[in-house]
Chains A and B, each alone.
Chain A
Amino acid sequence: MPGISSRWANIGAQIVLTILALIFVSPLVIMIRVSLQGAGLGNYLAVLQHPLIPRFFLNSLVVTALTIALTYVITVMAAYALAKLKLRGRVLMFNLILIGLMVPAIAVVVPLFVLFKNLQLFNTYWALVLPYTAFGLPFTLLLMRNFFDGLPDELLDAARIDGCNSFTALIWIVVPLSKSISMVVVIWTFLTAWNEYFLALVFMRKQTMQMVTQAPQFFTDFYDADVGKIFAALVLISLPVMITYLSLQKYFEDGIVSGSLK
């Protein structure tokens, strides 16, 4: 921002940012420090050698991957139709979907419980993939529709003249242009699905079907008061999401600029 180029202002900004950053990073530093208590890195080895840990990771990976795939495909199709095809009632349909933003899964856990019991989905990946997708869609659709709205109509008109139908125009013109916003959708879905705790607690009763977010509680019971091992588990669970975010951070920020702000 111009007008703030004075040297003292910059030094002041640096100091305030450093203090804030120290405050914000301290809980994560504490997590790592506690994870090394007692046996040091041995805590990590102990956690990794526990036979159920790979299973928890596999479960979360499968659920997260399926949720991302479903969410992405459905979001792209719906956002395209709502933003770029002249459908009657599209504003109403969009608003109807946005109602989903306001419903916490907690509030409808009883009907979900009854429904999944009847469908015999307990202890299956679908018991999580289906609600994660349904409850995640309103937000990802909001982001992607905003982005598609910003694409010029002339682009699609030109594609149509060149012989594209609405579907080929989507695949060959719109999707390649939406890389950054797609990253936002993928990362956001990744972290909400990987980090979800409550539905996983309700629907995954069998130990071998539990998700990584259940692991801390599991290790609390298993290792009793061995805080070091519990926190080592916390670090290990956080790593996939953090690494994903760090490696895709640039695209994520670009996507936020293009998607959420109008």
Chain B
Amino acid sequence: MDKSGTNTAAPGVNPPGAARQTKRGNLLWTGYLYLIPVFAFVGGLIYYTIYYTAEVSLFDWNGLTPDRDFIGLENYLDIARDPVFHKILLNTIIFAVLTIFLQMALGLLIAVLLKFSVVLKSLYKIIFFLPVVTAPAITAFIFRRIYSAEGELNQLLTALGLGRFTQVWLANPDLALYSVAAVNIWHWTGFSFLLYFAALTMIDKSIYEAALIDGANFFQMLRHITLPLLKPTHFTLITLGVIGSLKTFDIVYLTTGGGPGRATELMATYIFKKSIVEFDVGYSAALSIVLLLLAVTITVVQQRFQRT
């Protein structure tokens, strides 16, 4: 602003430097306006609910009555001692490792195979990605049928002469977690595939040509060129996969409900049951905070790894 306090100075009167200064100043200040909506939403709904959850986690509260007892960190100590929590932590780790690894391996395999001279490429791409756009609520319905006693999986096994393996897949405590993991793999492999396929498209072809001249075969190139160049994609998929496993709810809740017993109970389903079914809202809130801390810690550690 000029010293006279008016905006009416004729153009060109101010020295160019001052004009730029003002314009820059405006730009700086107005730039933050673009961020008001995003922080209104993220702040109003995500930060607020995290704050509320953190506060509630310090109380013994059923979520219904107005009175609640302040118990400090008691809920967190209970979590550390809770055998169910240990069980679901193990479940979550098994689920995460299995699904992330297999989704990446299958996705990469499909992406690489589609780089061969094969026919029906676009049909394959559609088939592998359609599960991603299918609602988990629908996926759960389909697989509950496939896995049932009279379901298609058992019919297939019988037809193949493997009748002795038939069973109710979601009711067997030893297998239920793997059956549910298979559903997750079906649902999400297309996502890994698409990211790998996009990344492969961007690799400079001349690198392969140079390697060919040096006498490298397909597997050597895959091992020494393709896989290292896909490192950013590996990391993206691992990060999203870990967060996704911690958040997995619909697919599990709508197929097994976390059962039989606690065989398929994961973090998110346990949190839900503790608050909505068992009315132990304080404890459930503490679990939510633990989940958030786990997710943030793992992500930060991964970012560090990625940089090195």
The CA of A166 and the CA of B32, in the complex, are separated in Å by 12
A17 touches B233 (CB 8 A): no
Partner of B113, one of A17, A24, A102: A17
Q: From known contacts A21-B127, A134-B46, infer whether A107 and B271 are also in contact, taking CB-CB under 8 Å.
A: yes
A261 touches B232 (CB 8 A): yes
B217 touches A112 (CB 8 A): no
Partner of B118, one of A17, A77, A256, A260: A17
B41 touches A74 (CB 8 A): yes
Interface string of A157-191 (1 = CB under 8 A from B): 00000000110000000000000000000000001
Do most interface residues of chain B lie in helix, strand or loop, or is the interface mixed?
Answer: helix
Interface size class of A (residues with CB under 8 A): 35 or more
* List of A residues within 8 angstroms of B216 by Cβ: 3
Q: From known contacts A4-B116, A78-B34, infer whether A112 and B45 are also in contact, taking CB-CB under 8 Å.
A: yes
Partner of A237, one of B138, B152, B186, B197: B138
From B5-13, B84-92, B128-136, B165-173, the one touching the partner chain is B128-136
From A41-49, A50-58, A241-249, the one touching the partner chain is A241-249
Is B292 interfacial (CB-CB < 8 Å)? yes
Is A93 interfacial (CB-CB < 8 Å)? yes
Q: Which chain B residues numbered 141 to 197 have a C-beta less than 8 Å away from chain A? A: 141-143, 145-146, 152, 186, 189-190, 194-195, 197
Q: From known contacts A3-B216, A166-B27, A257-B198, infer whether A81 and B32 are also in contact, taking CB-CB under 8 Å.
A: yes
Q: From known contacts A3-B208, A77-B38, A230-B141, infer whether A242 and B130 are also in contact, taking CB-CB under 8 Å.
A: yes
The CA of A2 and the CA of B216, in the complex, are separated in Å by 11
Q: From known contacts A87-B28, A93-B35, A106-B268, infer whether A30 and B217 are also in contact, taking CB-CB under 8 Å.
A: no
Is A223 interfacial (CB-CB < 8 Å)? no
Is A225 interfacial (CB-CB < 8 Å)? no
B41 touches A130 (CB 8 A): yes
The CA of A171 and the CA of B47, in the complex, are separated in Å by 30
A256 touches B195 (CB 8 A): yes
Interface string of A211-246 (1 = CB under 8 A from B): 001001000000000010011001001100110011
A162 to chain B, nearest CB (A): 14
A contact set with B: CB distance below 8 Å? 1-5, 9-10, 13-14, 16-17, 20-21, 24-28, 30-31, 34, 73-75, 77-78, 80-82, 85-88, 93, 96-97, 99-104, 106-112, 114-115, 130-131, 133-135, 137-138, 141, 165-166, 191, 194-195, 197-198, 213, 216, 227, 230-231, 234, 237-238, 241-242, 245-246, 249, 253, 256-257, 260-262
Known: A110-B53, A241-B134. 4 other contacts (CB 8 A): A4-B116, A27-B142, A195-B136, A237-B138
Q: Please, could you name 18 A-B residue pairs with CB atoms under 8 Å apart, sorted by A?
A: A1-B226, A3-B221, A4-B218, A25-B130, A81-B32, A102-B243, A104-B268, A108-B50, A109-B276, A111-B52, A195-B133, A195-B136, A197-B250, A238-B138, A249-B125, A257-B201, A260-B195, A261-B195
